[in-house]
Amino acid sequence: MTQSARQPLPAETPLFIVLNASSGRHEGGEVRQTIERVLGDAGRRFTIFEAINGSELPDQARAALAQARQQHGAVIAAGGDGTLNAVSNLVLGSGVPFGILPQGTFNYFGRSYGIPQDTEHACRCLLDAVIEPVQVGLLNGKVFLVNASLGLYPTLLEDREAWKQRYGRSRLVALWSALATLFRAHRQFRVQLETSGQLRHLRTQTIVVGNNALQLEHLGIAERDALQSKQLVAMTARPMGTLALYGLVLRGLLSRLGDAEQVSSFAFQRMRVRLGKSGRKVKVAMDGEISWMYSPLLFQVADQCLPLLVPRDESLREHDA
């Protein structure tokens, strides 16, 4: 979508901010103070719905969305990837604009649209924002903004969160956690993939479906351009041992994962994944959050776009290095 085609957010639009005080890199109190200072100094109408922990997040998000609908406002999610995911699940299809104040470690979603990770700068961008429709993926009807996965990848994410709780949030901690996880033996499973009426059978340790061009570019996946054609990108790998898995990590760090002979990737609009009998419970991850779903798993592009608030002024957009 071109800049001229974007719809400006009226300056009088009230902002209803869902703040997850327990997520992200910073203390919730620090983030809240920054929000109140920047928006207050600008004279912008806003209300903060603070979730002390993750269990309170859905109720606070529903309350914020209800107020935004009544007062023709916008809903803003302030937190890590899981917070952005949870709030966007409610906002999608509501007609309410959606903004973010990202607090996550990698922030692939925000970086893709030039939204700064610094809370103060991101708040200032909300003061002069435009609405840009962006594609989201669905897994069994649930939104994912960056990726969704099953198999080994959710295990990596679970272990990474445990390491972060112990050693702090950083990309180096995430890397060491991955190396420790891959050192263990991991289960293989047989899956049936159905796309465009065609069936394929494979044995793998993981399936990852991407919806973020920046992440796919950093990994070196050639099909990333397919996202511009309203498609998602699936990545699978043949079963392999620890040394080969370490090699894939290295290739990913060098943006060459797509060159590995063990890795295959392809674009699609709709893919059904079956693991054994229907009704089997499967551990999945969506934007870093772990949950259980029943097989078969249906990955698809959402019919509706998410009306994302992005900086109007290109000089305020944070360009990825």
Output the DSSP codes for 61-92: HHHHHHHHHHHT-EEEEEESHHHHHHHHHHHT
Q: What is the DSSP letter of 220?
A: T
**Cβ pair 278, 111 in contact under 8 A:** no
Count other C-beta atoms under 10 Å from residue 60's C-beta: 21
Q: What is the location of CATH 3.40.50.10330 in the chain?
A: 3-136+304-315
Q: Which residues of 172-211 are buried (b: 16+ CB within 10 A; e: fewer)?
A: ebbeebbeebbeeebeebebebbbeeeeeeeebbbbbbbb
**Total residues belonging to the chain:** 321
Q: What is the location of CATH 2.60.200.40 in the chain?
A: 142-301
pLDDT value at residue 1: 43
Q: What is the DSSP letter of 233?
A: E
Helix (H) / strand (E) element for 214: namely helix 213-219
pLDDT value at residue 183: 66
Q: Which CATH number fits the domain 3-136+304-315, given the four candidates 3.40.50.10330, 3.40.50.2300, 3.40.630.30, 3.40.50.300?
A: 3.40.50.10330
In the chain, the amino acid numbered 87 is: V
**Cβ pair 18, 52 in contact under 8 A:** no
Strands 281-286 and 289-294: antiparallel
Q: Residue 7 has which token pair?
A: 């719809």
**Alpha helices per DSSP H over the chain:** 28-41, 57-71, 81-91, 108-112, 119-126, 152-167, 171-182, 213-219, 242-253
Strands 7-8 and 129-134: antiparallel
Left, alpha or beta for 294 (phi > 0: left; psi -120 to 50: alpha)? Answer: beta
Nearest Cα to 38, choosing from 126, 149, 166, 129? 126
Q: H/E/C letters for each residue in 184-212?
A: CCCCCEEEEEEECCEEEEEEECEEEEECC
Fold of 142-301: Tumour Suppressor Smad4 (2.60.200)
- Determine the Cα–Cα distance for residues 78 and 104; give it in Å rounded to an integer: 10
pLDDT value at residue 3: 45
pLDDT value at residue 2: 44
**Cβ pair 174, 231 in contact under 8 A:** no
Angle in degrees, 0-180, between the axes of helices 81-91 and 57-71, rounded to the nearest 10:
50
Rounded to two decimals, the pTM is: 0.88
**pLDDT string in tens for the chain (321-residue length):** 444 468 999 999 999 999 998 875 556 688 999 999 999 999 999 999 999 988 899 999 999 999 999 999 999 999 988 899 999 999 999 999 999 999 877 889 999 999 999 999 999 999 999 999 999 999 999 999 999 999 887 787 777 777 767 777 777 777 777 777 776 766 788 999 999 889 999 999 899 999 999 999 999 999 999 999 999 999 998 887 878 777 877 777 677 888 888 899 999 999 999 997 777 899 999 998 999 999 999 999 999 999 999 999 877 777 665
How crowded is the C-beta side of 248, counted as CA atoms within 13 Å? Answer: 23
Q: What is the DSSP letter of 305?
A: P
Backbone angles phi, psi at 286, to 5 degrees: -130, 115
